[in-house]
Amino acid sequence: MAALHPAHSTQETHFLAQGPQFLWLLMIAYVAVLLLANWFDVRLVNFGVLIIDAGTIIFPLSFLASDLLTEVYGYQWARRAIWVGFIGNMVFMLYGLIITHLPNEASSQPSMMFDQIFSLNARIIIASTISYFICEPVNSLVVAKTKLWLQGKHVGLRFLGSTVIASGLDSVIFTLIAFTGVLPAPVLFTMMFDMWIVKVIVECLGLPISTYLAKVLKQKERLDVYDGNTRFNLFKWRINYTTADNQYMASP
């Protein structure tokens, strides 16, 4: 985190000398999950009585990555990851639109099928992008704020609470935009609820892993950033943490 000011302790000197080792990996994983979820959202899946899109299965991993980014590196880095993910989504969608409008052999059945799939997927990507741009900041905001309120304690509870709130919003916004007029109203609302439940279940199953990773990352990076001085404005890019925001040695 090059924006941190000159350090005055052993762990801060170590951090400034070597930089975050795993920040780039988390950001890449975060964007990759978003793109995968968008591509597979077009495929509906039945799990017994549950009706969801295939992207819902993998999408909670973006919340996991966002939780870790916010918990260890701070909201400002999570906010930057949100913007990188948004740009990635835009490039993905625009490239797909360009490809589907390029000249095509009339006899090419696979190309025609691809165009049909992408035309449906474009609406889903738009729905996903809108819901993402609302819900991902909410998820990181809840993690950062509750970390301050609870003084860094109850990491698992904070991760779960942020996912319950953000995934609920995401399921409602995404389903209404992506499938209104495509699915009957009863199926639409059932799907909305099922998506929320599946995301919460995936978060619960992954909670031991996410809390363990948060602990390990803090130890490896010697970082535990608190957003006491952060302005929670989504439309900012700059990282301006100081060494006072890193409370690794004072963490519970």
Residue-range domain boundaries for the chain: 10-245
Give residue 225's pLDDT: 94
Q: Note whether 95 and 118 are within 8 A (CB).
A: no
The CATH code of domain 10-245 reads: 1.10.1760
- Write out the two tokens for 111: 């190309």
Give residue 242's pLDDT: 87
Give residue 29's pLDDT: 87
For residue 74, give the amino acid letter. Answer: G
List, for the chain, all residue ranges whose pLDDT scores fall below the cut of 70.
1-19, 41-42, 47-49, 51, 53-54, 105-110, 115-121, 250-252
For residue 220, give the amino acid letter. Answer: K
CA end-to-end distance (rounded Å), the chain:
22
Give residue 129's pLDDT: 80
Helices 155-179 and 185-221 cross at an angle (nearest 10°) of 140
Q: Note whether 222 and 15 are within 8 A (CB).
A: yes
Q: For the beta carbon of residue 246, count every other beta carbon within 10 angstroms.
A: 25
Among candidates 189, 76, 179, which has minimal Cα distance to 131?
179
Give residue 106's pLDDT: 60
User: What pTM was computed for the model?
Assistant: 0.79
Give residue 148's pLDDT: 95
